[in-house]
Amino acid sequence: DTGVSQNPRHKITKRGQNVTFRCDPISEHNRLYWYRQTLGQGPEFLTYFQNEAQLEKSRLLSDRFSAERPKGSFSTLEIQRTEQGDSAMYLCASSLVGAGGSNTGELFFGEGSRLTVL
Amino acid sequence: GNSVTQMEGPVTLSEEAFLTINCTYTATGYPSLFWYVQYPGEGLQLLLKATKADDKGSNKGFEATYRKETTSFHLEKGSVQVSDSAVYFCALSTYQGAQKLVFGQGTRLTINP
């Protein structure tokens, strides 16, 4: 399968613990995005990378959240000192943006990592 | 700011019924508009898109027309099937900086045989 892969698919943790999610994008894609989706809502943008550079972060991304894409391939999203309000589905997406910013506008999403904070 | 509003669900229809899911948007500039679909147990996937006013996106029998005058992008299908049961998300992108998508809240569609 050459789609976007996310792990783990489901994480249950106690409040105050740290969790890390991993995303493996489609291999030739240079952009990688993280979104958060709560029950009954659409996905909300968190952050995105162009290759290894993190270019934008949403105000939703508090200082307990950190995302990395060290070699411009896979990415990790870490949440420190989890709170019950962090319970959500965390979605990763990737896309290919050409020189000059040209692209099809399509993001390719993984199946998501569901976080439950008890 | 940019936002998308979809008709509230859930929507339940019988097979072969006509489907409309309303979507309106607020945006600065000239957004591109998308419909994404999430089938049970799968990730979001692009259903169709339109990048400028009066464009019609179409795929799998679904259509949506970019209406700038009414800031709408309603999804339609003439005859739905059980396999169309899914959650549908309308979204926009203004291509300002990031290729960020702003999503509506989603509409759950159930088609009964």
CB contact under 8 A, B100 and A91: no
Question: What backbone phi and psi angles, to 5 degrees, belong to A100?
Answer: 80, 5
CB contact under 8 A, B99 and A97: yes
Task: Give residue ranges of B with CB < 8 Å to any A CB.
Answer: 4, 32, 34, 36, 41-46, 49, 51, 89, 91, 93, 95, 97-106
Residues of B in contact with A43 (CB under 8 A): 44, 89, 101, 103
Q: For position B28, what pLDDT does the model report?
A: 84
Question: What backbone phi and psi angles, to 5 degrees, belong to B103?
Answer: -100, 150
Q: For position B44, what pLDDT does the model report?
A: 92
State both tokens at B97. 């900086």
Q: A80-84, A92-96, A103-107: lowest mean pLDDT where? A: A103-107
Q: For position B95, what pLDDT does the model report?
A: 64
Q: For position A1, what pLDDT does the model report?
A: 55
CB contact under 8 A, A105 and B93: yes
Distance between A110 CA and the closest CA of chain B, angstroms:
5
Contact A110, B43 (CB under 8 A): yes
pLDDT at A88 over 60: yes
Residues of A in contact with B103 (CB under 8 A): 42-44
Distance between B14 CA and the closest CA of chain A, angstroms:
23
CB proximity list for B105: less than 8 A, separation 6 or greater: A40, A41, A42, B6, B8
Task: Read off the pLDDT of residues B15-57 as tens digits, 9 standing for 90 and up.
Answer: 999 999 999 999 988 889 999 999 988 889 999 999 889 999 9
Q: For position B96, what pLDDT does the model report?
A: 53
What is the SS3 assignment for B70?
coil
pLDDT at B98 over 60: no
- pLDDT band with cut points at 50, 70 and 90 for residue B8: confident
